[in-house]
Amino acid sequence: MPEMTTSSATPVFTDTWVPDSARAITLVLHGGAQHGTDPLDGRSLSWRRGRALARHVAAAVAADDVGVLLLRYRVRGWNAGHGSVPSPVADARWALDEIARTHDLPVAVLGHSMGARTGVAVADHPSVRGVVALAPWLPPDDPVAPLAGKMLRAAHGRLDRITSARATSAYVARAAEVADAEFTDMGAVGHYLLRRIPLWNAYAAAGVREVLG
């Protein structure tokens, strides 16, 4: 796929790998920031990390007839509680509706950091079978209800100073009351998926396969 280098007033699928024989879809959600209304383009480091992840996973699950789509949000921030300011949750819901409209297939959501938090928030969409969360941002007051009856596979490194492995473990414990939820300790790694990259990629692909059966 050609790289998208211009900003967009709407969320967009910047990269797609969907075989004609696809039986399921993986929606990849990249990270971001707590606040921010700057539009995103192809220079975004968070999007670039998501793109690298999506490429690896697409190659790994192609033989399973699983397609992969990478979403780029309108703006970089979570922006909760800021009225009409765009948020990744609204963008992800748009993406899931588009996938349902064009493919009508079950979906696994694969998210990193804010993308994982976004994935959990939209897990109640009828197409979603579960969420694979890498170094997720999951504050203690975030609800687990969207995951009811779904799957959650969450992985976190102990050296993460951006988001909290302890908070992720606690969230997974709460989610286990309503969902099939498991936490994996990735060891002495940080937030940005830059160390032990093959292990992160393998975890992501295995999680997607598990969620989609």
Q: What's the domain range around 162?
A: 12-212
Total domain count for the chain? 1
CATH number at residue 122: 3.40.50.1820
Residue 122 belongs to some domain of the structure: yes
Residue 2 belongs to some domain of the structure: no
Model confidence, pTM: 0.94
pLDDT at 82: 56
Residue 108 belongs to some domain of the structure: yes
Residue 184 belongs to some domain of the structure: yes
Q: Are 156 and 165 in contact (CB under 8 A)?
A: yes
Residue 38 belongs to some domain of the structure: yes
Residue 99 pLDDT level (bands cut at 50, 70, 90): very high
Name every residue whose Cβ is closer than 8 Å to that of residue 39 and which is 6 or more positions away in sequence.
7, 8, 9, 74, 75
Question: In this predicted model, what pLDDT tens digit does every residue of 36-95 receive, in sequence order?
Answer: 999 999 999 999 999 999 999 999 999 999 999 999 999 999 998 555 678 999 999 999
pLDDT at 85: 75
Q: Are 111 and 103 in contact (CB under 8 A)?
A: no
Residue 7 belongs to some domain of the structure: no
pLDDT at 3: 40
Question: In this predicted model, what pLDDT tens digit does every residue of 149-190 receive, in sequence order?
Answer: 999 999 999 999 999 999 999 999 999 999 999 999 999 999
Residue 1 belongs to some domain of the structure: no
The residue behind tokens 């079978």 is 129
Residue 180 belongs to some domain of the structure: yes
* Average pLDDT of the chain, as a whole number: 94
Integer Cα distance of 125 and 148 in angstroms = 11
CB neighbour class for 83 (10 Å; exposed up to 12, middle 13-18, buried from 19) = exposed
